[in-house]
Structure 1
Amino acid sequence: MSRAAILGAGAMGTMIADGLVRSGWSRDSLVMCARRPARIEELIALGYVATTDPVAAIADADIVILSTKPKDVGAVLGAIRDHITNRQVVLSVAAGIEIATLEAALPDNPLFRAMPNTPAGLGRGATGFAVGPRATGSDIEAVRRVLESVGLAVQVTEDQLNAVTALSGSGPAYVFLLAEALQSAGHALGLAHDVATDLSAHTIAGAGAMLVAGMADAATLRQQVTSPGGTTAAAVDVMLDAGFLDIIERALTAARDRAVELGQAR
């Protein structure tokens, strides 16, 4: 059994820890590191090993996961750089922190950068990850196993991670916005609010499950539901005439461009 240190026990760090436990890791093979003593007590109550000291956290770890806020990454790297061995794999899920930044502090380590999303909390996440220059095939597989504990993991080049951020990193918000719109429209058509809410949520979940199951690609599944001259066609025509596809492309481009700006500002 591998051992992991998770530096940063906020939402994403905890999601990864919980995913690893669901996939068969024991809690005592994970060391969680947080700044607040109150958070340490919470983690210990959940059965995790926890400490406020990042150096102690990484001592026996095979993989070190950086899940702090981006503004705190520099301080954490500074704390561990003289204590980490070059055999330890480092995976950062801190938004916007480039591999070059990690490499400046940890020049001899296998380095990885990943962008998960919030459905990771249910084991249904979608994560893109990029690989640094010193990573071996076994390192890549070890990181893939960690990320697959919270859902899908796909390897991309680092320059594609901003696009990953725009598509899947921010993607849950787009789906929630669609759900809001369906709920509101359903209510406007006379459905009770709770009925519109439940129908919207289950429609989105069911349609997503069909895509994930690989029953067909998105265009084919849409066409199968869209009978010529029918109700679905009437609705889809309104969306397409309003520029729906262009709106989505412009939205993702805006998110990608903002990710680039934020990365350059750090």
Structure 2
Amino acid sequence: MAERIDLATPAEKAARLLSAMNMDFFDVYVVYSRSLSIGVLGRGIRDAKSRIDLGLGVRAYKNRGLGVAFSQSLEPEDVEETVDRAVSFARAAQPDPYFKGIPGPSKAEDVPGLCDKEIICLTLEEAGELVKRMIDAAEEVRHGAMYRGGMTVGYSRSYLLTSTGISVEMEKTSVSAFIEPTYRRGDDVGSSYEYDYAVSLAEIDFEAIGRKAAEKALEQFGSRRVKSGALPIILTPDSTSSFISGLMLAISGESAVK
């Protein structure tokens, strides 16, 4: 079970300090996160990692100048130092002519089902067994592949306070898994991959991921080489996500301006 850490107290302390420092705007973000990751390489599991992160971030604005500071400690003295650094940076920063302010409170529907207790309580050993199920399913389709893949699960709690009146705590989980088998038949090679992403373990079918990846890899046997050229493309769900994410980064207004 993930450790329950008080996030509100350090956030409120930072907000009180910032309120007394004559900033135009500020926000405080405190977060606790825990992640487990299992890596697959070759014929089985390569590594297993567990990581816990904890921290506080402060953004302060003065005369359209931005100061940012963060700490991986929530101790009172470290909160004070983080606030002081953010304020000093804001006072020294060059003004941003495009800065208008930060958002205020607005109504938003609560989205249920974003936090899965099964993920919160998952151990590395249990995560490893889920990955083995994915590999075993691929082996049932055809034995002897070389694999690349893995699984990552994450849990996070965060608390946000702003000078415009926003005060909100959030809690969520996530799980992702993928596997890429490579088969050889003489000089011919068949390789493909399958993946899934969800907010709860119950939504992930690990056997289906392994089975579909193996079946798609076998379909690649006998593929023909084609000459390079300007050709139409067909975007499958597998490729669309990476294409769209790159496009979204390219059309970021802030990146274009700066």
* TM-score calculated relative to the size of structure 2: 0.24
Structure of larger gyration radius: 2
Instruction: Name whichever structure is richer in helix by fraction.
Output: 1
Instruction: Name whichever structure is richer in strand by fraction.
Output: 2
* TM-score calculated relative to the size of structure 1: 0.24
